[in-house]
Amino acid sequence: MKEVYEFLKVRTQINYVATVNGDLPSNRPFGDPVLFDNKIYVITNKQKNVSRQLSKNNHACIVACDGEEWVRVDCELIDDSDNIEAKKAMMEEFDWMEEAGYTLDNPNFQVLYIANAKATIADSDGNISATYEF
């Protein structure tokens, strides 16, 4: 799991999260994840389409590329928005959050963690260098 986190956090910074929108795929960029309580967390706002899509079907695929290798993480994104400590960890990591309206009492501040993940790291030719399950 830590190798996948480092790929998403250090090697790329921008990750693309695909979800299901009805019967169509939907994809968007996400920022840095945070490692907290031995889980990889991401944030969003409950007003966004991604949040509504994940509430109906929490299966997602996260993809990122560093120019030499790519990672694909097939997973579930689990809503953990009642976890105040996870929210605090996010806010400690990113100083822009409070100014953007992500406060602990904001009901739209959503934290999600990656679960039931199958991750693959490979080069542009498709040669797999590592696989992980967590």
- pLDDT category at 38 given cuts 50, 70, 90 is very high
Q: Which domains does the chain have, with CATH numbers?
A: 2-125 (2.30.110.10)
What local confidence, expressed as pLDDT, does residue 43 receive?
96
What local confidence, expressed as pLDDT, does residue 13 receive?
80
Task: Decide: 73 and 16 in contact? Cβ < 8 Å.
Answer: no
The answer to whether the Cα torsion of 5, 117, 69, 45 is positive or negative is negative
Q: Please state, for a pLDDT cut of 70, what percent of the chain lies above it.
A: 100
What local confidence, expressed as pLDDT, does residue 48 receive?
97
80-92 mean pLDDT: 97
Full-model pTM:
0.95
User: In this model, does residue 47 exceed pLDDT 90?
Assistant: yes
